[in-house]
Amino acid sequence: MTNLPVAVLTLAAALGSGLLAGFFFAFSSS
Amino acid sequence: MKALGRLPPQEGIAAMQTINVVVLNGWFFAAFFGTAAVCIVLTAYSVLNWNAPGTSYLLAASALYLVGVILVTMVFNVPLNNSLAAVAPDSAEGADLWARYLSVWTAWNHIRTLTPLVAAAAFVMALGRA
């Protein structure tokens, strides 16, 4: 991705989404 | 939720009521709404720069998160949490609600588990473009 600010935001969104998926998975699985 | 479902209803209800209070902290809000804010910015960027590399992934991932996590939580999970907070754990009304809560709340929780997982993969795909 050539636009660095967008790349940083995209990485933050990926981390945030993954974090919440893991958080909600704890409720679904246990 | 399987573990709480194995408890007697009054214990499961009391545990979930406590969880629903404790979970509302700064870390959760930062991840939950912070990611939503970033998704809104990325959606605007994607629409305004549709020909830029990876924008289709950005748009799809942002929509998945905003709908599958934020909307689902606000429309389905939070109202059930509010209903659960209003019942006495040892009441018959509480036991009836708890049975519904365990199936309905958990089903929507599966949705908001799967959608951000797919969204995260799509964000990574967007990063891999260009």
For residue A1, pLDDT over 70 is answered with no
Long-range contacts of B26-31 (CB under 8 A, 24+ apart): B28/A23, B31/A16, B31/A19, B31/A20, B31/A23
Q: Where are the domains of chain A?
A: 1-30
Write the Ramachandran bin of B54: left for phi over 0, alpha for psi from -120 to 50, otherwise beta: left
Rounded mean pLDDT of chain A?
93
The interface predicted TM-score (ipTM) is: 0.93
Question: Residue B1 falls within a domain, yes or no?
Answer: no
Q: Is the pTM of this model over 0.95?
A: no
Nearest to A25 among B45, B113, B127 (CB): B113
Interchain CB distance below 8 Å, A16 and B58? no
Residues of A in Cβ contact (< 8 Å) with B35: 12-13, 16-17, 20
Q: B18 near B85, Cβ under 8 Å?
A: no
Residue B81: its pLDDT value, please?
98
Residue B3 forms part of a structural domain: no
Examine the pLDDT at B130 and tell me if it is beyond 60.
no
- For chain B, the residues whose C-beta falls within 8 A of a C-beta of chain A are 1-3, 28, 31-32, 34-35, 38-39, 41-42, 45, 52-54, 58, 61-62, 65, 69, 106, 109-110, 112-114, 116-117, 119-120, 123-124, 126-127, 129-130
User: How close, in Å, is residue B62 to chain A by CA atoms?
Assistant: 8
Largest alpha-carbon pair distance within chain A? 41
Q: Does the residue B2 lie in any domain?
A: no
Q: What's the whole-number average pLDDT of chain B?
A: 96
The 10s digit of each residue's pLDDT in B48-105 is 999 999 999 999 999 999 999 999 999 999 999 999 999 999 999 999 999 999 999 9
Domain that holds residue B24: 8-128
pLDDT at B124: 97
pLDDT at B129: 84
Number of separate domains in chain B: 1
Structure tokens at B107: 């089903």
pLDDT of residue B101: 97
